[in-house]
């Protein structure tokens, strides 16, 4: 999608620190990390948010959450102690980039409730 910064990252049109990539998704380091480990996992296809997912996206979401996130958590060294997966959605959900992304945060003790 034109003017979507995460589409541009997925298409390698702007630089990012990619830590994982396959045909369906990309994971890269967050520009403003909120924890020692903070990566974003995004589908390559443009989906605005969790609310825009459809039946056709079931395999894609399962791939991200069943395959990619646990593998990354292990590789990045946070699987054992624990980590958080967050998909901010909409304005009050704190979503600033309108391309579906899963934050993977870890490497420190995370507080609850979030701000
Ligand atoms: P959210 O506020 O949930 O929409 O998360 C968007 C995240 O994208 C924020 O944590 C930003 O720091 C991050 N971000 C924005 N632009 C970039 C970029 N070019 N490269 C890496 N992370 C980015």
Q: What percent of the chain has pLDDT above 70?
A: 100
Residue pLDDT, tens place only, 58-82: 999 999 999 999 999 999 999 999 9
pLDDT at res. 115: 84
Distance of CA 28 from the midpoint of ligand 1 (Å): 10
Q: Is 88 in the pocket of ligand 1 (CB under 6 A)?
A: yes
Q: Predicted confidence band at 85 (pLDDT cuts at 50, 70, 90)? A: very high
Neighbours of 10 (CB within 10 A): 22
Q: Is 32 in the pocket of ligand 1 (CB under 6 A)?
A: yes
Q: Rounded to whole angstroms, what are the CA distances from 95 to 55, 88, 89, 102, 111?
A: 22, 5, 5, 11, 19
Active site residue 46: no
Q: Is 50 in the pocket of ligand 1 (CB under 6 A)?
A: no
Burial class (CB in 10 A: 0-12, 13-18, 19+), 110: middle
Predicted confidence (pLDDT) at residue 39 exceeds the cutoff of 90: yes
Q: Which two tokens stand for residue 64?
A: 């991200």
pTM over 0.75: yes
Q: Ligand 1, atom 17: nearest CA belongs to which residue?
A: 31
Sign of the CA dihedral with 68 first, then 80, 77, and 101 last: positive
Distance of CA 36 from the midpoint of ligand 1 (Å): 15
Calculated CA dihedral for residues 33, 36, 37, 42, nearest 10 degrees: 0
- 86 CA closest ligand 1 atom index: 3
């Amino acid at each position: 999608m034109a003017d979507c910064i995460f589409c541009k990252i997925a298409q390698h049109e702007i630089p990012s620190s990619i830590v994982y990539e396959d045909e369906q998704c990309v994971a890269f380091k967050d520009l403003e990390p909120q924890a020692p480990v903070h990566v974003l996992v995004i589908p390559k296809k443009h989906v605005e948010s969790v609310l825009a997912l459809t039946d056709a996206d079931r395999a894609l979401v399962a791939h991200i959450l069943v395959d990619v996130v646990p593998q990354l958590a292990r590789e990045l060294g946070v699987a054992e102690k624990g980590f958080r997966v967050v998909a901010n959605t909409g304005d009050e959900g704190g979503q600033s980039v309108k391309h579906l992304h899963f934050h993977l945060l870890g490497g420190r003790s995370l507080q609850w409730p979030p701000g």
